[in-house]
């Protein structure tokens, strides 16, 4: 068949419209990619805060605040959810997932809506603890944001709208991740129903990750919580190349990353900085996955003695997830989360859980069921205890 021949007299108007829209979308994608390359290259040339500046920014931040005992250490705000004229549906990520998780927990009687902790939005000063000024400035270009979140039409919108509809929700989730460490230190555990942007590092974003919330959380903990050893347990299907880049050769941070090596981001440079790499290839099923996790946690227990655990609990390992390509059952997700929380509880280590990736509508229900399981097993307490 000769694919170069086109019989225009047989093309219906609706088909022609679709073809034109597809061509425009491809052009936008290409232009977005080229501009993003230029902006990201420039942003990596400027470093983030000096150590002294970073400490001063952390000490002056308002993101750490006192939470009354009437609240449980589960963090969420309606400001997390992204609604952008339906354009958000062009990405497979469920951008209303966070609110749906809390909705299920409240409906099931596991959580009282008045017990939820609402975080503050991370300010520019907070973000500069890790991010370079030039990287943050690059986000003033809608095309660059479009490339990072992988939704090309966003490039066509004025940046003020992109800031409000896309970046504002992400900055609120960053605030949630940062305060979660404080709550975990005080209560033993905390769950940010959002966050887990593990593809973003100080100088660049990607893979729907605009801000490096994990890196920021850890730096705040170093300064404000007197923590000197942190373990990242990253069980999202994708490699956490962002935090791996940020903590390259940093002996204070131990990274256990269990990921599918055959999918995005294929960042071989960042893989060099993983302390404990566990590869799970496409098609891995629940039993094998959980067995590998047991072995990995046993190794980690002997390799490092953390004072805080950041658990990146992506659900893109679910069977049927179009991007993760693994075959883990919903019950397997609950077992996975239970194993990690039990690992922390048995060693009396505060743990922060982030929900991270997950590209099926069922993810919200699965996460809610897993949190319910943690509560049932008394690994967390989601009930209000009084004022």
Active-site positions? Answer: 199
Q: Which positions ≥6 away from 163 have C-beta within 8 Å?
A: none
- On the CB side of 146, CA atoms within 13 Å amount to 25
**Helices and strands in the chain: count of H runs, count of E runs:** 14, 7
Cα separations in angstroms, 87 against 150, 162, 164, 344 = 11, 11, 14, 39
Task: Decide: helix, strand or coil at residue 108.
Answer: coil
CA separation for the pair 84, 341 (Å, rounded): 35
CA separation for the pair 140, 204 (Å, rounded): 14
- On the CB side of 302, CA atoms within 13 Å amount to 5
Contacts 24+ apart (CB under 8 A), 65-70: 65/120, 65/179, 67/117, 67/179, 67/183, 67/186, 68/387, 69/385, 69/386, 69/387, 70/114, 70/115, 70/384, 70/385, 70/386, 70/387
CA separation for the pair 292, 27 (Å, rounded): 43
Cα separations in angstroms, 242 against 87, 273, 319, 341 = 26, 11, 25, 23
Q: CA dihedral in degrees (304, 305, 308, 309; nearest 10)? A: 40
CA separation for the pair 248, 273 (Å, rounded): 5
Which residue, 166, 195, 230, 218, is CA-closest to 367? 195
């Amino acid at each position: 068949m000769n694919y170069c021949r086109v019989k225009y007299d047989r093309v219906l108007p609706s088909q022609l419209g679709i073809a034109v829209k597809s061509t425009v979308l491809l052009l936008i994608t290409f232009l977005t990619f080229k501009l993003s390359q230029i902006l990201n290259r420039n942003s990596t040339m400027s470093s983030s805060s000096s150590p002294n500046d970073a400490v001063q920014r952390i000490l002056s931040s308002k993101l750490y605040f006192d939470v009354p005992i009437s609240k449980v250490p589960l963090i969420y705000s309606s400001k997390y959810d992204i609604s952008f004229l339906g354009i958000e549906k062009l990405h497979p990520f469920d951008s209303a997932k966070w609110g749906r998780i809390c909705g299920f927990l409240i409906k099931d009687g596991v959580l009282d809506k008045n017990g939820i902790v609402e975080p503050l939005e991370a300010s520019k000063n907070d973000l500069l603890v890790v991010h370079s000024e030039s990287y943050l400035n690059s986000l003033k270009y809608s095309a660059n944001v479009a490339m990072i979140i992988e939704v090309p039409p966003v490039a066509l919108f004025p940046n003020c709208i992109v800031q409000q509809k896309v970046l504002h929700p992400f900055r609120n989730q960053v605030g949630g991740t940062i305060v979660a460490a404080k709550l975990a230190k005080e209560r033993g555990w905390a769950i940010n129903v959002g966050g887990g942007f593990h593809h973003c590092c100080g100088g660049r974003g990607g893979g729907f990750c605009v801000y490096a919330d994990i890196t920021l959380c850890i730096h705040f903990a170093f300064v404000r919580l007197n923590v000197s050893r942190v373990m990242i347990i990253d069980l999202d299907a994708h490699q956490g190349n962002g935090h791996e880049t940020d903590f390259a050769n940093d002996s204070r941070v131990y990274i256990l990353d269990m990921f599918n090596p055959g999918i995005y981001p294929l960042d071989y440079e960042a893989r060099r900085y993983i302390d404990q790499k566990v590869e799970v290839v496409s098609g891995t099923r629940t039993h094998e996955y959980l067995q590998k996790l047991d072995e990995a946690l046993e190794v980690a227990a002997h390799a490092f003695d953390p004072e805080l655990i950041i658990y990146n609990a992506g659900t893109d390992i679910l069977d049927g997830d179009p991007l993760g390509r693994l075959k883990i059952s919903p019950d397997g997700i609950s077992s996975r989360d239970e194993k990690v929380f039990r690992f922390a509880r048995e060693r009396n280590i505060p743990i922060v859980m982030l929900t991270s990736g997950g590209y099926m509508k069922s993810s919200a229900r699965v996460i809610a069921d897993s949190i319910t399981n943690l509560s049932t097993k008394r690994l967390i307490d989601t009930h209000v205890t009084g004022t």
